[in-house]
Amino acid sequence: MGAHRMAPRITKGCILRIVEIFKGNKKEEMYLYVDQKDGLKKVPEDLLGTLGRTESVMILPLTKEKKLARVKASDVLEGIEQKGYFLQMPPPPEALAEAQIAAMVQAEEQLSEAQKQEPK
């Protein structure tokens, strides 16, 4: 049974678009957002070549108010509207290092807090 495909629709005054997210096998942390009903047909061949073999990783309903991890939903929707796709680039190496350090500090703080709460 095929996936249900929907056109953008207006819900409570905001546009809802069903977006499909793809990743390629050539570039880590690079994601391609497209309108699910169009799939990859509006994506330029050279970009698809840069990504390599693509794999669908997620389908989600998206409005400009939706919170995404590393990009603004409004930018994604604007890119899809104007070009037919939005390309999320990988974070720069220093951003990855900062995120790893922050995660380690948070984990250490959680461990310390948990150890304080253990009965002795």
Q: How far apart are CA 58 and CA 47, in angstroms?
A: 19
Domain range annotation of the chain: 9-89, 91-120
Q: Are 62 and 77 a contacting pair, CB within 8 Å?
A: yes
pLDDT of residue 96: 62
Percent of the chain predicted with pLDDT > 90: 54
Instruction: Using DSSP, state whether 72 is helix, strand or coil.
Output: coil
- Decide if pLDDT at 84 tops 50: yes
Q: For 51-74, write each residue's pLDDT tens digit.
A: 999 999 999 999 999 998 889 999
Name residues whose C-beta falls within 8 Å of residue 80's C-beta, 6 or more positions apart in sequence: 17, 19, 33, 34, 35, 86
Name residues whose C-beta falls within 8 Å of residue 50's C-beta, 6 or more positions apart in sequence: 24, 26, 27
The residue that leads in pLDDT, 79 or 6, is 79
pTM of the complete model: 0.67
- Decide if pLDDT at 97 tops 80: no
Q: How many helices (H) and strands (E) does the chain have?
A: 3, 5
Phi, psi for 58 (deg, rounded to 5): -165, 150
Q: Top-level CATH class of 9-89?
A: alpha beta
Q: For 13-43, write each residue's pLDDT tens digit.
A: 567 899 999 999 998 889 999 999 999 999 9
84: left (phi over 0), alpha (psi -120 to 50) or beta: left
Q: How far apart are the first and last CA of the chain?
A: 57
